[in-house]
Structure formats: C-alpha cells, structure tokens
Copies of this chain bind each other. A is one copy, B any other.
C-alpha cells in the first residue's frame, strides 16, 4: 500500500511492470532490434498502460544531445516582425523541417543589449544542439562567437564580417539586375532606387544590383535614398527622391513594403503608376499582390530559405559536412506596377 507509484513512471517502473530490466526497456524505447519480439511487445504494452514518456533531461544528460535547435532573431528582426512577412516565413520553414525531424525549435529573441551575452551563455550551456541565426546586421559578432564556441551554426544571409559560417542566401544582385533590365526595356531612363539599410547584406547587395543594372543606361546617374525596409521609410524616401528629380520614371525599391510606400507617395503627388513611373519591389510577400497597382517584384523563396536553413543545421548537428553557402535563385514577377 505504501508502494503507490508517486510521480510519473520512469524506466524502472516500466521495467518492473514488464518483468524486464531498465536496459531492455531502454532498448525498446529507442527502437533497438536486438530485443525478442514478445518481450518487446509486453514492454510496449506496459509503456502504454503506464503512460510512460522518457525524461528528456535525463536523456540529454547522458547522450549530450538535446534534440533542439535554436533560432536566433536579432533585434532588428523583432522590430520588423510586425509588418514584414520575412521572418514569419522563415520561422514556418524552419519549424516544418524540424518538426519532421522531431527536433524542437527554441526561439531566442535577441531584443535587448544584454541578450547577446545571454544567448552566448545559453548556447554554451548546450541547451541546443545547433543554432540557426537569422543574421541581419553586418556588424554582428555573434556568428563568429558561436562558431568559436564550437556550436554548429548556419545563418540566413551571408554574414558581413569575417565570420566563416555556412549560410543560406538568395541571389540579390542578379534579381535586382533583372528588375533593372525590365525597367530599361520598358524605356525608363531616370531610374531611382530606395535602398535598404547598408549595414545589412540584403541592403547592400540589392543596391549593388541597382548600380550595376544602371550601367546599361549610358550616362545615367544613380539616384539613391535609403530606407529601413519598412513601409513608412518607403513613403519618405520616395518624397526625397522626387524632390531631387521630379522626372523619375522608374523606381526599384529594395523591399515590397518600401515599394508599397513609394506607390502611395507617387499617387499622392499625382504620378500614375506605371504610366508615369514604373515601380518594382523585392521579396514577393503576400501583400505585394494586393498593392495598388499590384507590384512587380523580385521573388525570393522565403519559405525555402527556412527549410534549407533547417536542413543544413540538421546535417551539421549530425556531424555531416555542408556546403559553405547555398544561394537560392530569385526571379522577376511581373505585375501591373511595371
């Protein structure tokens, strides 16, 4: 009567119920084939009866694995979070793959100053087997520190520093160049750009694509205003652009949100799109199909970035080699705005 199994069942409980040893039960739980079928069967029944679930802490302690992967979103990411579909898309992609692999997704939102240390501490504690870094800012030393800590890491977007961690990125420049060719082919000659933040790879490479695309126009001068990828900054940048040159007839914005902002300013200042000014964005987020007019944009496979990130980190964690970089293609999606 004082044998009441107090807490949740352990291996020991199951072993006793099934008349086997802890080791054998463990074998069944972990799918070892070297267990006699009938024994395995009775153990499985006992497990079901008792509602036994392995204690992950105990398992981690001995296996040195946690079966969980951290996804670190830097400050800028959480800021953008509210209206940008990029990070949610990446989270979904990563989550899907990890779920299939039976790994847990631990989200680390690096929102404050102190969180840098906190994350390092966390990772050092080996609470996760690997880290996916949604790296955005070039100045970030995190990728390199994580690599130095000996933790498998893969980042979204080529790290700007000297870090040599594997990454997944997209063909920013060539996508933008396609957009520029399209504008030029449309006969546009005064093409401006609303660039992204220049401390992020995406911002830089998309600007580079604009500049190189502009070379197809002999004598054309670059017309650049910088935004922060968000809508309001597109609204403002477009105003500055028109002040500098009222005769702009084409705009490439480094994000769909900024392109949408540009659309609003153009409309407000009496320009017709695409008649007077053709506009192209970048990202191909859901919202781009619903701007007025619908946005011609450079498509990047956001969801696939997520799945690839997850696949790579799983490979690294498993001790396999991975390519130093995977660069996914982008392509122009032509809609009514250009």
Contact = CB atoms under 8 A, between A and B. Distances in A.
Copies of this chain assembled into the complex = 2
A292 interface: yes
Interface stretch (A14-22, A107-115, A320-328): A107-115
Interface stretch (A38-46, A76-84, A186-194, A271-279): A76-84
B95 A111 contact: yes
Contact of A92 (B51, B81, B85): B81
A310 B58 CA distance: 27
Contact of A109 (B54, B96, B231): B96
Interface string A59-78: 01100001010010000001
Interface string A210-253: 00000000000000000000010000000000000000000000
Given A81-B88, A83-B286, A290-B264, A99 B122 contact: no
Interface stretch (A124-132, A133-141, A176-184): A124-132
A109 B85 contact: no
A27 interface: no
A227 B57 CA distance: 44
A55 B8 CA distance: 23
A107 B105 contact: yes
A121 interface: yes
A91 B66 contact: no
B53 A61 contact: no
B61 A58 contact: yes
Nearest to A84: B88
Contacts of A122: 104
20 contacts: A53-B125, A57-B57, A57-B58, A57-B61, A58-B61, A81-B89, A81-B92, A82-B88, A82-B89, A91-B109, A92-B109, A95-B109, A95-B111, A104-B106, A104-B108, A104-B122, A105-B106, A105-B107, A231-B286, A261-B290
